Amino acid sequence: MSLDRCTHAGTARADDEDVVLSDHEWSSYRNRRRRCVGSGPQRRPRRTRVELGPDVDARTAADRFLASPALAEGTRRAYRRDVGEFCSWLEAGGTALDDVDVRTLAAYVAHLGAARGGGRPGRLAPATISRKLAAVRAFLRHSLGAARVPDAALAPRRGRRLPDAPRAAEIEDALAALEGEGPVPLRNRALVELVYSAGLRSAEAVGLDLADVDFEQELVHVRRGKGGKDRVVPLGEEAAHWLARYLREARPALAGGANDALFLSVRGRRLDTSTLRRVLPHPHRLRHAFATHLLEGGADLRTIQELLGHSSLSTTQVYSHVDARRLRRVYDHAHPRS
C-alpha cells in the first residue's frame, strides 16, 4: 500500500461533520499507518468540521447533524423535533445559522417561554425549555463548533421535582396482577421483576441480550445504557427465579428464529419500550423505587449512583430528599411531641 493511499485512508472522512472515530475505526486506521510509516506512537486524528458555506442553510446542517453516527437512535428521535422547531424559528426571523450568537439563543428561550396560542396549553414548562435548549446547543456545537456556542445559563430555573416512588406493597400488587397462563404473562412478570430488581431504564431492559444475564455470578450486564455507558448490576433472587422460568417455559414458545434478545414479542422479535409501558404504565417509577428502597435500607448514595449509572452524584442526591420527606412523615405520625 502506498503512502498516498494510507494517508487517504486516514482522511477520507474529513468531509463529514464532527467526525469521531470509533475504537474499531481508530484501530484499523492505526494499523494502516503503521504498515506505511512505521510502528511509532500514533496520535488519534483530530475532529474535523466543515466550515459552513453561504449556501448551507439551517435545515441542511440539521439533516447532517441528525444523520451523525455519534447519536444514539433514541437521542436522534428526541432531537429531531426540537432542532426542527429551532430551524423554523430561524427561518421565520430571517436569521442565518452562521449568525447565531448568545443574543439569538436568549431570544429563542424567550420565544419558548412566551404564552402560546392556537389552543395549546399556556406556557412550556421550564424542564421542557431546558430540554429543547440542550438539543439546540448540541446542534450548534456540531455545526458551528464548540467555541461558537455560549455557556451562558439561559434556561429558566426549575423547581426540584421529587421522584414518585411506589411503596413495596404497591409493587407487590402490580407484580401479582401480571400473573396468568401462557408465555406472555410469564414474560411480563420476568420483565417487570428485572426492571425493579436491577433499577433498569425501559430501553436498557428491552435491549438486553441472552448473554447479558449471568446466573452463576448473579449479575446483569447493561450495555450501551444512557450516554453509551456500560455497567454491571446485581441480579436479585426473585428476578433470577422468574427469569429462569421465563427462559425455560416461555421464551422457547415465543422464539420464531435466531434472536439473541432476552425478551421477545409474540412475533419472536425484540420487545420495544412501548410494550413495557403497556404492561406497566410509567415503568420508570420502578427505577425510582429501586433507588429509594435501597436508600431506606441503608445503601449509600455513591453505591446507588453506580447502580443507576448516573454520571453525576447530584442526579442521585434527589433520592435523599425523598427519604428525608418520608422520615418526616413517620416522625410526625409516631412521635408524641411531633
Other CB atoms within 10 A of residue 42 CB: 15
Share of the chain residues as helix, strand and coil, in percent rounded to the nearest 5: 55, 5, 40
Q: CA-CA distance, 278 to 86, in Å (whole number)?
A: 32
Q: Which residue, among 86, 78, 93, 43, has the nearest Cα to 61 in the 3D structure? A: 86
Distance CA 202, CA 207 (A): 8
Beta bridge partner(s), residue 234: 219
* Annotation says 226 is catalytic: yes
Cβ atoms of 64 and 143 within 8 Å: the answer is yes
Strand 231-234 relative to strand 213-214, pairing: unpaired
DSSP assignment of 236-300 equals: -HHHHHHHHHIIIIIHHHH--S---BSSB-TTSSB--HHHHHHHSSSTHHHHHHHHHHHHHTT--
Give the span between the Cα atoms of 72 and 122, in whole angstroms.
32
Q: 187, 189, 201, 285: which is the annotated catalytic residue?
A: 201
Closest CA to 89 of 106, 108, 102: 108
Q: 32, 245, 270, 284: which is the annotated catalytic residue?
A: 284
For the chain, how big is the Rg over CA atoms in Å? 25
The CA–CA distances, whole Å, from 221 to 24, 113, 234, 299 equal: 21, 41, 9, 21
Catalytic status, residue 229: no
Burial letters 132-156, b for 16+ CB under 10 A, else e: bbebbbbbbbbbbeeeebbeeebbb
The active-site residue, picked from 49, 137, 226, 231, is 226
Residue 287 annotated to the active site: yes
Give φ, ψ of 153 to 5 degrees: -75, 105
Which residue is catalytic, options 33, 287, 288, 293?
287
Which residues have a catalytic role annotated? 201, 226, 284, 287, 310, 319
